[in-house]
């Protein structure tokens, strides 16, 4: 391997056109790969930006109480005086943000769009 | 024999001749073009890489800042409209957000509402640590035209915008997000 390199360096005849072409091809490929990597990361960043904007817009609407309602099942579970769980299920109601008391919790199962 | 000797002398002369002026000029011109192309490509690549990393870091900073301010607003109990200060249980005292310079970004300032001056006993703290303020970027904060609106159930709806700006690009806005936060508790507004 070392001998081949020394031979190549000492060689006075220069490079053949095919060698030059192959070298340019390798350089071009490397350049294209780097360029595609940059473009892919740029696209990814843009996608993340769009997703973040959508998430915060939806969250703002939810916090402001102006979000579009969706249909689903809501279960409000509350403990009575002896610690038993009483579950009430509401089907097909509009879901909006609502404050509940501390001894209650709400679980939501989405059925519609 | 004579011919052989002459040929050898010619070869020796040729070996020591070097490049002509025209060859050198063409080589220098070609090298300059190649160097310009490489350096131009490198600059474009570096700029693109910087923009990408900066945008990604800005997104992280923005999310972190939003999370911090949302936490304060969620736990607010009192809001003073004259000074934009609020009493929040997440801090345990009255605070106000302000941006003194481009190095620290948003500062959480303990506030004395009775004197309407910063609290001298408690220390002000940056919203984000210096490690989070990366890439010569800083956070900026602006309340909306109606910063606090009391809902019918007594809770408050806070509205504000958080900006991520670059101090080395004439405070150019890299990221910004308008945020609305509904408090967990009933809020008294003065």
pLDDT tens figures, B131-169: 777 788 999 999 999 999 999 889 999 999 999 999 888
CA quadruple B126, B129, B132, B137: dihedral sign:
positive
Complex-level ipTM beyond the 0.90 threshold: no
- Judge whether B108 and B122 are in contact, CB under 8 Å: no
* Segment B76-91 mean pLDDT: 91
Nearest to B180 among A42, A49, A60 (CB): A60
* Confidence grade of residue A103 (pLDDT, cut at 50, 70, 90): low
- Domain membership of residue B80 (yes or no) is yes
pTM: 0.70
Cα gap B76→B181, rounded to integer Å? 10
Q: Which chain A residues are within 8 Å of B44, Cβ to Cβ?
A: none
More confident residue, A17 or B33: B33
Find the range with the poorest average confidence among B7-11, B32-36, B101-105: B7-11
Sheet with B172-186, edge to edge strand ranges = B137-150, B155-166, B172-186
Q: Which chain B residues are within 8 Å of A48, Cβ to Cβ?
A: 56, 59
Q: How many domains does chain B have?
A: 1
* Confidence grade of residue B12 (pLDDT, cut at 50, 70, 90): low
Give the minimum alpha-carbon distance from A56 to chain B in angstroms, rounded to a whole number.
7
Residues A29-72 have pLDDT tens digits of 998 998 898 889 889 889 999 999 999 998 999 888 877 766 66
User: What is the average pLDDT score of chain B?
Assistant: 87
Residue A113 pLDDT > 50: no
Give the minimum alpha-carbon distance from A62 to chain B in angstroms, rounded to a whole number.
9
- Domain membership of residue B20 (yes or no) is no
Cα gap B178→B160, rounded to integer Å? 6
Residues A74-84 have pLDDT tens digits of 666 666 666 66
> For residue B53, what are the domain limits?
36-189
């Amino acid at each position: 391997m070392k001998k081949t390199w020394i031979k190549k360096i000492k060689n006075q005849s220069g490079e053949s056109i095919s060698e030059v072409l192959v070298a340019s091809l390798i350089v071009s490929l490397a350049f294209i790969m780097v360029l595609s990597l940059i473009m892919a990361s740029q696209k990814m960043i843009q996608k993340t930006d769009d997703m973040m904007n959508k998430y915060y817009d939806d969250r703002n609407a939810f916090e402001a109480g102006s979000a579009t309602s969706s249909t689903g099942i809501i279960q409000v579970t509350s403990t009575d005086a002896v610690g038993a769980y009483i579950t009430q299920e509401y089907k097909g109601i509009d879901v909006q943000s609502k404050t509940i008391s501390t001894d209650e919790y709400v679980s939501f199962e989405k059925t519609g769009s | 024999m004579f011919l052989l000797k002459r040929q050898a002398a010619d070869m020796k002369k040729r070996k020591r001749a070097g490049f002509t002026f025209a060859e050198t000029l063409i080589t220098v011109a070609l090298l300059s073009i190649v160097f310009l192309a490489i350096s131009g490509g490198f600059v474009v690549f570096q700029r693109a890489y910087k923009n990408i990393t900066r945008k990604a870091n800005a997104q992280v900073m923005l999310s972190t800042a939003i999370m911090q301010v949302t936490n304060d607003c969620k736990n607010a109990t009192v809001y003073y409209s004259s000074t934009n200060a609020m009493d929040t249980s997440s801090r345990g005292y009255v605070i106000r957000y302000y941006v003194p310079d481009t190095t620290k970004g948003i500062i959480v300032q303990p506030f004395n509402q009775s004197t309407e001056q910063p609290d001298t006993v408690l220390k002000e703290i940056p919203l984000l640590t210096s490690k989070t303020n990366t890439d010569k970027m800083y956070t900026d904060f602006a309340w909306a035209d109606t910063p606090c609106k009391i809902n019918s159930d007594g809770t408050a709806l806070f509205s504000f915008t958080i900006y991520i700006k670059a101090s080395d690009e004439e405070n150019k806005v890299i990221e910004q997000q308008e945020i609305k936060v509904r408090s967990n508790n009933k809020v008294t507004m003065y």
